[in-house]
Amino acid sequence: MQRIANLLAIKDNKVLLLQKPRRGWFVAPGGKMESGESIYEAAIREFQEETNVIPHDIHLKGVFTMVIKSGDRVVDEWMLYTFVAKGVEGTPFEETREGKLAWHTIESLKTLPMAQGDRTNLVFASTKQGIQYGTFEYTQDFELISETIQMSIEQ
Amino acid sequence: MQRIANLLAIKDNKVLLLQKPRRGWFVAPGGKMESGESIYEAAIREFQEETNVIPHDIHLKGVFTMVIKSGDRVVDEWMLYTFVAKGVEGTPFEETREGKLAWHTIESLKTLPMAQGDRTNLVFASTKQGIQYGTFEYTQDFELISETIQMSIEQ
């Protein structure tokens, strides 16, 4: 089962997003964990590789079970771990083979084109206290079928 | 890849632990996630099934990459998600086919027999603020080869 770690860097009320070429959708930079890595190590490594930026003060904001369905059948399932970083060091690449990188307002997360579950995840990560958990079910064409969300804040 | 969710219930300065019959080691009750479950749902379901107790105010305290090695070769790898619950409702089973359940002092987590990585995980979960991340490498006989730990607290 794949494990994906991504990271939303926040600076001056803006977030660093990657616009993927295929659909033009925006995502938080990240990628696949390697064998033996922790989710924390993977998020930092993948973010640095994709952006050229070093993240500081990172914290886990979301853990999601991602399910791809064809009719009633589960055709893929993986885990997504989303971190935020409240400090960043360095200037991001403008464009890589992964897509275009740019700073966008936190507010724009509500309207920029992206997978619907990513919006739930990134709006929470950038504006709320605590951790979100849940399951996103998608079609193979990445249309959201259902989302089930829980959250908790440390007492 | 397996995903295991467990939960450490804390009440009156005590924690509910399961003593497994094989080695006599103590663990936090939990078990395998099912397809499509969130880690939050899995931790609650598994804990209730194993203990007969309903946990409240649960929060994620640890996410670990668990690696079993034979020499240099990785023979198994899975993810462990550890929650705490600061409130519980109901009386735990005393004994199940999984082992014996009982309340133990938080202090006793430092000395009760258990996997070394579990001690690192459960002592943190019961006494510290924030989330721990990391990788535990074990032999097939569950002797700890290495542990690499990171942690963060929400800003």
Residue A33, min C-alpha distance to chain B (Å): 10
Q: How confident is the model at residue B142 (pLDDT cuts 50, 70, 90)?
A: very high
Q: How confident is the model at residue A155 (pLDDT cuts 50, 70, 90)?
A: confident
Q: Report the pLDDT value the prediction gives residue B33, as an integer from 0 to 100.
A: 98
Give the 3-state secondary structure of residue B32: strand
Give the 3-state secondary structure of residue B44: helix
Q: Report the pLDDT value the prediction gives residue B118, as an integer from 0 to 100.
A: 98
Mind listing the pLDDT tens digit for each residue in A7-48?
A: 999 999 999 999 999 999 999 999 999 999 999 999 999 999
Tokens of B42: 């899995």
pTM, two decimal places = 0.97
Residues from chain A contacting residue B150 (CB–CB below 8 Å) = 38, 40-41
Domain formed by B2-152, architecture: Alpha-Beta Complex (3.90)
> Tell me, what's the ipTM?
0.96
Mean pLDDT in residue range B102-112: 98
Give the 3-state secondary structure of residue B76: strand
What are the residue boundaries of the structural domains of chain B, listed by start? 2-152
Mean pLDDT of chain B: 97
Identify the DSSP state of A129. Answer: S
Phi, psi of B120 (to 5 degrees): -55, -45
Interface probe, candidates B32, B35, B39, B45, chain A, greatest A C-beta count within 10 A? B39
Mean pLDDT in residue range B59-87: 97
Residues from chain B contacting residue A130 (CB–CB below 8 Å) = 154
Residues of chain A with pLDDT > 70, as a percent, come to 100
Q: Report the pLDDT value the prediction gives residue B60, as an integer from 0 to 100.
A: 98
Q: Report the pLDDT value the prediction gives residue A101, as an integer from 0 to 100.
A: 98
Q: Report the pLDDT value the prediction gives residue B155, as an integer from 0 to 100.
A: 83
Mean pLDDT in residue range A49-76: 97
Phi, psi of A80 (to 5 degrees): -120, 130
CA-based nearest residue to A25, from A87, A88, A118: A118
Mean pLDDT of chain A: 97
Interface probe, candidates A33, A38, A145, chain B, greatest B C-beta count within 10 A? A38
Residues from chain A contacting residue B88 (CB–CB below 8 Å) = none
Residues from chain B contacting residue A67 (CB–CB below 8 Å) = 35-36
Q: Report the pLDDT value the prediction gives residue B145, as an integer from 0 to 100.
A: 97
**What's the angle, vertex CA B145, arms to CA B144 and CA B150, rounded to 5?**
85
Residues linked to residue B148 through DSSP beta bridges, in sequence order: B135
